[in-house]
Chain A
Amino acid sequence: MASSSGAPRVPVEERLFSLVLALLATETGLTKAEILSTVQGYRQKYTMSGDNSNLERQFERDKDDIRELGVPLEAIAPLGEEGNNHNLRYRIPRGQYELPDDITFTPEEATLLNLAAMVWREGSVSAESRRALLKLRALGAGGGEPVLAYAPRLRARDDAFDPLRTALDKRVLVEFSYLKPGETMATARRVAPLALVQHQGRWHLYTHEPASDFHKTFLLRRIVSAVKITTVPHTADELDYSAIALGELDELWVANTATVRVQPGSDAATRLLKRRGTSADGDDLAVHYTDLNILADELAGFGPEAVVLAPAELRTAVHARLETVVNDHG
């Protein structure tokens, strides 16, 4: 009987591997029909004159899985037939697949890259850094001695992080609700994501807002809805937005100074004094900050150990927080 149940089962990784090999080996590309009828893992399920729509869907998913690994699987339309999706030819151009020959890593660099990958311990980024290490191993770079004295870790726990990264790669607009501190209602935003940066331990999204033509920075923890990835592409220039975003946050941090009087020897005194850029005039510390509300939360936590002298807005914010806590625990 010619049913697919009679065909030997081909493991998924064998089908994916065979597809990559077939597409690397072709210069001119293979059509979908050629792939489905000849490549290991598909050909066993292909029917010459029947309905192959299940197999076609499987091929679509496989393409996505392969591209996710950074394999430049391309679809080219025959000359003069652009826009006709039927005769697309698929291939993996060798030059874009292979690591350029002149890229090598010294043992010191390999050690540093190992440590850089280990910085990510959880979530999707961690899986990606493990894959990057695998490719480094393919080059023959060893693991290097693990640096025992250090175990630095980065995290990306905000729900918005992964969808925003996807939108960054796709260069499309995103939509989400954003709750500004002090406001009771979240507002809907539609922006072009340009960079994700961690500044002072918190993830920020740097964007361009088409409606206002302004660049705006959002704190991921204040995104209160799911992030909707639209299909609308944006045409932002190719600038180093990560550096621009970090630069703007740093400028803000330099420009904002709070004067905080601390109890000598207290936890507040020790920790605030140790912050980058803090200067002391007796027990009065000049503390830099980027976000008034975040600093207000931190300072409220210090209770009587710290009192804000300036600016007035911060003073009011911390005082109000402390009163709220008193009332909530009465």
Chain B
Amino acid sequence: MAERRKPAGAQDKLAFLLALVPYLIDRDRVSVAEAARHFGVPEAQIRDAVTLIAVSGIPGETHQYQPDDLFDIAWDALEERDEIVLTHLVAIDDSPRFSAREAAALIAGLQYLSSLPENANREAISSLQAKLSRGSSASPTRVAVGATDVDETVTLISTAITSGRQLEFDYVGADGESERRSVDPLRVESLDADWYLRAFCHLRAAVRTFRIDRISHPIVTNEAITFTTDDVTLPDTLFDGSSATIVVTIDVTPSAAPLLAEYLPEAVGSASTGTLVQGMTRVTMRVPHYHGLKRLIAGMAGTARVVAPEDAKRAVADWAAAGAARYSAERLR
């Protein structure tokens, strides 16, 4: 498919035209502003699309695209009041069906959402799935998502958010120290099977991201929250790299390189900028502490190796050696 030449966006523009026409048919008169809001696009895009629709049609009996073969709009309404009124229709009456892949994408998304306590209503979800299947032009591609481990902490967080109260829990931070945190919960986020809480942390006086499976002994307090999502900006990335100041050099097999960035999210640096040394990609990244690094590298035996600095290598070696020692010390029962 890579060899295919097609102007980027023509296909998307077609999809937009095929969606816009039935929307306009259902409304006798709609302002450009309202349509733009409905579709979440700039007003100029609506005007361009309507202008194109107005001169489009079918070849017709004469094969000459006679006026009766074309859509038409009330031009004065568009030009004077920025309103769209279709005055003549051709060929299209209704919304298009979903494609097999579009339906599959939504179905898999729904399955994933059903992990959330709010969406535990399986019946509503499966009736929606059935509608999507029936509304697609071919049977949906078989792509599915299994239930993920969302524990009761999420329910508690959700209660705290809706009641506007602070949450308190024990948490082991990037430095390995466990502390009791009081936070204003802002949002629950996830990446596949991993769930995170983004919150304003009163201990750190800043927005922080917490792994939900690392939260212990959570309670909803009676304290009102001081910040909501309206008061603070949540950065797009889950982790803020400003505390990452230690530069480490790591050799990693090319196939495992993306794992580094993924599982050491506090780190800053790009694995793709690495150079190849003896079949391994050499990357440098900044980490806030060795606490996370040693765990990551110990979990990537044979595929990743810290080469510098010395104390980072030692931190990893000590961690793994302490683990290995338990196998010599502890007998099988």
Contacts and interface: CB of A to CB of B under 8 A. Distances in A.
Interface residues of A, number: 122
A40 B91 CA distance: 15
Contacts of B39: 134, 137
B322 A304 contact: yes
B187 A151 contact: yes
Interface stretch (B135-143, B239-247, B265-273, B281-289): B135-143
Given A61-B4, A129-B106, A132-B102, A149 B187 contact: yes
A39 interface: yes
Given A17-B14, A72-B137, A245 B144 contact: yes
B296 A301 contact: yes
A150 B196 CA distance: 10
Interface in B292-333: 294-302, 305-306, 313-314, 316-317, 319-327, 330, 332-333
Interface string B83-127: 000000011111111111111111111101101100100001100
A69 B15 CA distance: 7
B214 A271 contact: yes
B137 A152 contact: no
A325 B320 contact: yes
B299 to A, nearest CB: 3
Interface string A311-325: 010010011111111
A140 B91 CA distance: 20
A172 B65 CA distance: 42
Interface residues of B, number: 122
Contacts of B6: 12, 61, 65
A183 interface: no
A134 B299 contact: no
Given A138-B23, A142-B38, A243-B144, A100 B135 contact: yes
Nearest to A196: B143
Contacts of A120: 105, 109
Nearest to A301: B299
Contact of B135 (A40, A103, A143): A103
Interface stretch (A47-55, A76-84, A105-113, A209-217): A105-113
Contacts of B276: none
- By secondary structure, the A interface counts as helix
A237 interface: no
Contacts of A298: 299
B158 A131 contact: no
A265 interface: yes
B135 A200 contact: no
A169 B109 CA distance: 19
Given A129-B102, A304-B325, A149 B188 contact: yes
B229 interface: yes
Given A109-B128, A329-B316, A152 B113 contact: yes
Interface in A132-169: 132, 134-135, 137-140, 142-143, 148-155, 157, 165, 168-169
A86 interface: no
A66 interface: yes
A155 B14 contact: no
Contacts of B10: 11-13, 16, 65
A131 B99 contact: yes
A153 B189 contact: yes
Contacts of B145: 154, 197-198
Contacts of B97: 70, 72, 96-99, 135
A322 B302 CA distance: 10
Contacts of B50: none
B225 to A, nearest CB: 13
Nearest to B216: A270
Contacts of A22: 58-59, 91
Interface string B187-215: 11111111000000000000000000110
25 contacts: A13-B17, A17-B53, A21-B91, A24-B91, A25-B58, A40-B56, A98-B96, A109-B131, A116-B109, A125-B108, A134-B15, A148-B187, A149-B188, A151-B187, A154-B108, A196-B141, A267-B295, A274-B153, A275-B213, A307-B326, A309-B332, A325-B316, A326-B317, A329-B297, A330-B317
Shortest Cβ-Cβ A-B pairs, 7 listed: A70-B99, A201-B193, A301-B299, A116-B109, A242-B144, A138-B19, A325-B320
Given A169-B138, A329-B314, 10 more contacts: A61-B6, A135-B15, A135-B97, A138-B19, A152-B112, A153-B190, A271-B214, A297-B299, A300-B298, A321-B302
